[in-house]
Structures are given as structure tokens and as C-alpha cells.
Amino acid sequence: MQMLNSHCGIDRDSRGVVRLTICNAGPLNIFGSAVINSVREGLEMLAGESGIRVLILAGQSEKSLIGGADIKEMATFDQAAAEKFISGFGDVCEAVRAFPAPVIARMPGWCLGGGLEVAAACDFRVAGHDAKFGMPEVRVGIPSVIHAALLPRLIGSGRARWLVMTAENIDAATALAWGLVDVVAPEGGLDAAVEKTIDSLLRCGPEALRAQKALLRQWEELPLTESVNLSIGVFGRSFLTDEPKRLMQEFIDRKR
């Protein structure tokens, strides 16, 4: 594993798949200020690499993807420090959401609070059979903010309200039924389930996937008519590369 900085390790393979591992953040991969800044920097560095086809976001510990924010650090905050901290955490989520290539969250064990917000910013969420999810912020006197705003879009307003207002945890089966995760792996099968998702993505045109991700991000924010009209130009620009011609010809040849 190559270390980008003290909290970001990366592994690459020949297919253009990169795994970013959150390192040296304790047994539950807790996000304090130093981890937040390092992970954001790592994501921003990788975002400039056009050869990345899929990014996997993982934790060094098998107990968690991200166990949440550092409560010991937050307990010392005044208003200004709180806003600076949570803005930095939001920047990590946005760096994931804006990453040009598809991002898969690899989710063993716990994923809580800000960790679930980071996962919600990923394109795909693959959970272990024993994974647990929750938004416990209100139990320590703060609201869930920043990219918790993605939760109603993922699971509906009622279920999002239940998570952020009761602070109760849910298991992997419930998360799958709610649409909070895309896949729940069988015991011992988390990496195989991640690999199956990678395989699906690698069968697609890399430039088309990047364009599709950018469109999806814009569709979240634009009115319907603007979304439709915007996509026409994106469709046309895809033909400035050889990808449509090459992949369409491969499709035609397979049908013969």
C-alpha cells in the first residue's frame, strides 16, 4: 500500500481500480480534524487522475468504514470551531460526491453519523452481513447536518426522519430494504461483493460513466426541464471520443 499521507493509503491494479484506505484513525476509523483534512487531500489528489475507473473507499479496521466524528474533539468546541470542523467534514463528503469516477463504499461493521454521510455521498454502498448504521448526533446534543441532506433522497423523508431523530441503529437487512445500501454481502463475502460491483462498472465505457455521474449530480439539484435539456449536449459531446463508435461496434459484432 502506498501512503499518500498519514491517513490515506492507496492500492492500485492494472484495471484502473484504486482502493483508498482510511488509516491510523483508531479501531473504528474515527474522523478528527487531522483525518478529515488528510482524506480530503487524498481524494482531491486522486480526482485529477484520468486513468482511475473505479474508486473503493475503505477503512483500515474491519470494525467500521467510518465510525463517526471525534466526540472528544467536538466536546471542546465553541461555535466558530464547530462550524469550521463541520465545514471540513462537508468538504470530504463533497470530494467523494464530486469524484469524477464511480466510488464504492466498502462497509463492514459500523457506519455512524458523519461516516454514513460520507457513504451517502458515494455512488454505491456494499455492506457486510453484520453491518450496522445510525445517526446518533442528537443523543450528544447536536443535529445531523451537511450531507445527511442526501438521506431523504436515498431512503425517503420518513425513514430519514426516523434515523436522524430517534438515533436508533438499523441492521444490514433493514438498510437494504430501505435502499440505504445497494448490496449486503454474505458472511466472509464482502470483498467478493465489492468485486462484483467493480466488474459491472468495468464493462461500461469509462468516459460514459464519468459523464453519467456528473449528470446524476446535476439532476439532484436542477429542475426537470433543465435536467433534460442539459443532458442533450452531454450526449452529443460523448461522440467527440471514440468510445461510442468502438463499443457500439463491439455490440453489433457480438449480435452477428
pLDDT of residue 255 exceeding 80: no
The pLDDT of residue 254 is 87
Q: Which of 3.90.226.10, 3.30.530.20, 3.30.56.10, 3.40.50.300 is the CATH number of 2-202?
A: 3.90.226.10
**pLDDT per residue as tens digits for the range 93-125:** 999 999 999 999 999 999 999 999 999 999 999
d(CA 145, CA 120): 13
Quick one: pLDDT band at residue 28, thresholds 50, 70, 90?
very high
Cα separation, 61 vs 21, whole angstroms: 9
Span 175-204, mean pLDDT?
Answer: 98
Q: What is the mean pLDDT of residues 219-223?
A: 94
Residue 24 pLDDT: 96
What's the average model confidence in pLDDT over 153-158?
97
Question: DSSP assignment of the chain, as one string?
Answer: -EEEETTEEEEE-TTSEEEEEE-SSTTTTEE-HHHHHHHHHHHHHHHT-TT--EEEEEESSTTBS--EE-HHHHTT--HHHHHHHHHHHHHHHHHHHT-SS-EEEEE-SEEETHHHHHHHHSSEEEE-TT-EEE--GGGGT----GGGGGHHHHH-HHHHHHHHHH---EEHHHHHHHTS-SEEPPTT-HHHHHHHHHHHHHTS-HHHHHHHHHHHHHHTTS-HHHHHHHHHHHHHHGGGSSHHHHHHHHHHHHH-
Task: Report pLDDT for 65.
Answer: 96
Whether residue 233 has pLDDT greater than 90: yes
pLDDT of residue 152: 97
* Domain residue ranges in the chain: 2-202, 206-255
Q: Is the pLDDT of residue 163 over 80?
A: yes
Confidence class of residue 256 from pLDDT cuts 50, 70 and 90?
confident
pLDDT at 251: 92
What would the pLDDT profile of 56-99 be if each residue is shown by its tens digit? 999 998 999 999 999 999 999 999 999 999 999 999 999 999 99
